Structure formats: structure tokens, C-alpha cells
Amino acid sequence: MLPEPVLAKVQSELLEFGDARASVMEISHRGAAFGEIAAQAEADLRALLDIGDEYAVLFLQGGATAQFSQLAMNLSAANQSADYLITGSWGKKAMAEASNWCQTRCVASAEADGFRGVPDPSQWDLDPDAAYLHITPNETIVGVALDGVPRTAEVPVVADMSSCILSEPLDVSRFGLIYAGAQKNIGPAGMAIVIVQRALLGHKPRPLPGYFDYRVQDAAGSMFNTPPTFAWYVAGEVFKWLVECGGVQEMKSRNRAKAALLYACIDASAFYANPVDKPFRSMMNIPFTLADSTLDQAFLSQATEAGLLGLKGHRLVGGMRASIYNAMPLQGVQALTDFMRDFEQRQA
């Protein structure tokens, strides 16, 4: 979901951006008008997350999946090993992709437990010589969130924040690299944002095509080639909206209230269930099941009729999932919980 004021602004500028006499999609990425859009978006993101100059901020094509490989290419050599903490299906995929570029080790996995939580840090098998430790702070499909950033002495922490970036304040200095596909909390699909400590890019572990080399992209202002201009522009409008709303601190309190409302509704009833251990429940993605799964189809079709869209669970896990990203208002979650109580009563 994108904020409605952003969609309305984009619509109003669609045919002609400012006095450019053309749409954002029709102007050169090297021209002054797009240059301003790009610089403002980066400045707003830096301000929202308090990102210092020692970090590069890159706007790249290819989504989060491309980053699974690109980060491994840039941060590891073939004879090095990288650590992966597996708390859901995205971390598993990230590790599988990286294994084309370096050795990978699973530090701990919650898979045998059905991804219901996060293995206790005392049981993590960390390699002090790893090129990096990869984590997925919010696992979008299973709805599992880490409660904090792992403390590792020398190993840089790399985080896939596709489904939680900008949902709450973030201490960027705790990370070597943060990346996020745009389409969940930032803007339209087709772009990933990478925030990487420049000190990590000092040496080149292998020859890389210019496009995939973070240093090259940093030096080129993410314009080694034509960047995803429209996605970058809409992301910039989302950042402006976030600033106007009061920033990530305000988002955190809104998101907490939304998630609390939905979990309370689920927990109050034997008709609905969420399988995740309470300390690790996601604020952004809330999967739930019906006690009688033969009612799933009726639930989904009646929800759609009631204007509640996109509730079908991911094909890997089935059931239902409410993704309540920044742009989802509290009223949206209220409408869902009202519907859920009503649906349950009608089955009695």
C-alpha cells in the first residue's frame, strides 16, 4: 500500500512534472529536474534514518533478490565464508544465492521449529572470521521479527530490511550494509535501496561488472546507467510524506498500535491463530489461520467484498496474512478486526 496523498500528488504531476513540460518518465536522468528529485530523495532518506556520510546510499534496479547476490559479490572473496542467521524463507533464499559467490554457513536456523521464532543467541555458531553476518530483521512471509541487532565484535552485520525499513527508528551505525526492495515500505517495485558503509568497499574481492560494483555506483551517484527514475521519484514522495507525518518515531507508534490491535483480535478468539512466539511477532506482516481451514476461501472472498484486499497468505505457507506497512492507516486494521469478529459470529 502507498500513502494516498502520495498517489494523488504523483497523479497530479503525471502529465507534466513542475515546469519540465514532460512527465518524470520522459525527462533525462542527467537533467537538472531529475537531479533535484534524486538529491532530495537521498537527503530525506538520510535525514529520516540519520545516515552519516560514511555510508553510501544507492538506488539500484533489481529488487532485493538481486542484492542477495550483489552484496556477496562486493563483500566477500571466493575463499571467504559468510554467516547467515535463518529465521524465515527470505534468509534461506539469500543464503542460497550468496553461495554462488562465497562459502556460506548457517549460524542457526528456526526452520525445524516451523519458523515460529528466533533461535537463542547462546546457540548461534558464529564465525569470527566471516566476511559478514546476514540477518533478516523482519521475515515477511512467516511474520517473524528479530528483537534487536546481534552484537558481533568484528564481523559486519548485513540486513535485508525489505519489509521493515522506515517502520521504526534504526541505528544505522550498527550495520555494515542495509538493503531493501522498494515495493513494501518505500514505493513501486523495480528498485532496491542499499545503505553501505564506504569503508567496507575499500578492496575489490573479485573483478565485477561496473553495474554490480557498489563503489562504481557510489562514485556515479547510482547513475552508472539509467536508474529506475519513476520508482526513485515516487520513493522521494514517500520520504516527504514520512517527514511530514513526523518521521520514523511517529511511524513506530502508529505501527505498534496497528499490530497490537490485530494481535489482540487474533489472541482473543479460538477461531483465529498466529503461530509466532510472542517476543518475535512482526509489526508489519501478521499471518493468521482459521481453526477450520475449509472456511479460508469464504473468509477471503467475503473480505474482498468488504473492501479488505490482499489478505491471502503467501503460497509457501497458506492461510491469511495482513501486511500492515507504514501507509496502512489504523482505520484499515480496525475494519479488518471488525470484519474478523463479524465473520466468526456468522459461523456460529
- Of 64, 142, 155, 200, the residue at the interface with ligand PLP (CB under 6 A) is 64
Q: CB-wise, 62 or 205, nearer to ligand PLP?
A: 62
Q: CB-wise, 252 or 314, nearer to ligand PLP?
A: 314
Q: Does 325 bind ligand PLP (CB under 6 A)?
A: no
The CB-side HSE value for 55 (13 A sphere, CA atoms) comes to 24
Of residues 98, 97, 147, 156, the one with CA closest to residue 126: 156
Q: Are 287 and 275 in contact (CB under 8 A)?
A: yes
Q: Which residue stretch of 6-14, 160-168, 208-216, 236-244 sits at the interface with ligand PLP (rule: CB under 6 A)?
A: 160-168
Q: Does 167 bind ligand PLP (CB under 6 A)?
A: no
The alpha carbon of 117 is separated from its chain's Cα centroid by a whole number of angstroms, namely: 18
List the grid coordinates of 138.
523482519
Q: Does 40 bind ligand PLP (CB under 6 A)?
A: no
Q: CB-wise, 90 or 280, nearer to ligand PLP?
A: 90
Q: Of residues 9-38, which lie at the interface with ligand PLP (CB under 6 A)? A: none
- Of 74, 87, 104, 163, the residue at the interface with ligand PLP (CB under 6 A) is 163
Residue 101 annotated among the catalytic residues of the structure: no
Cα-based angle 213, 28, 25 (whole degrees, multiple of 5): 100
The alpha carbon of 83 is separated from its chain's Cα centroid by a whole number of angstroms, namely: 20
Whole-angstrom distance, CA of residue 191 vs CA of residue 111: 29
Buried b (16+ CB within 10 A) or exposed e, 34-52: beebbeebbebbbebbebe
Q: CB-wise, 108 or 340, nearer to ligand PLP?
A: 108
Q: CB-wise, 158 or 265, nearer to ligand PLP?
A: 158
Residue from 184, 213, 218, 241 carrying the catalytic annotation: 184
Q: Does 160 bind ligand PLP (CB under 6 A)?
A: yes
Q: How far is CA 166 from CA 9, 171, 227, 244, in A?
A: 21, 11, 22, 14
Q: Are 340 and 347 in contact (CB under 8 A)?
A: no
Q: How far is the CB of 260 from ligand PLP (least distance, A)?
A: 22
Terminal-residue alpha carbon distance, the chain: 33
Q: Which residue stretch of 125-133, 156-164, 222-230, 269-277 sits at the interface with ligand PLP (rule: CB under 6 A)?
A: 156-164
Q: CB-wise, 285 or 339, nearer to ligand PLP?
A: 285
Q: Is 127 exposed, middle or buried (0-12, 13-18, 19+ CB in 10 A)?
A: middle
Q: Does 140 bind ligand PLP (CB under 6 A)?
A: yes
Q: How far is the CB of 180 from ligand PLP (least distance, A)?
A: 8
- Of 3, 143, 181, 287, the residue at the interface with ligand PLP (CB under 6 A) is 181
DSSP 312: B
Q: How far is the CB of 187 from ligand PLP (least distance, A)?
A: 12
Q: Does 136 bind ligand PLP (CB under 6 A)?
A: yes
Q: Which residue stretch of 63-71, 114-122, 147-155, 305-313 sits at the interface with ligand PLP (rule: CB under 6 A)?
A: 63-71
Phi and psi at 62, nearest 5°, equal 100, -5
Residue 90 annotated among the catalytic residues of the structure: yes
By residue count, the chain amounts to: 348
Q: How far is the CB of 303 from ligand PLP (least distance, A)?
A: 22
Interacting residues toward ligand PLP by CB under 6 A: 63-65, 90, 136, 140, 160, 162-163, 181, 184
Task: Give catalytic residues, as residue numbers.
Answer: 90, 160, 184
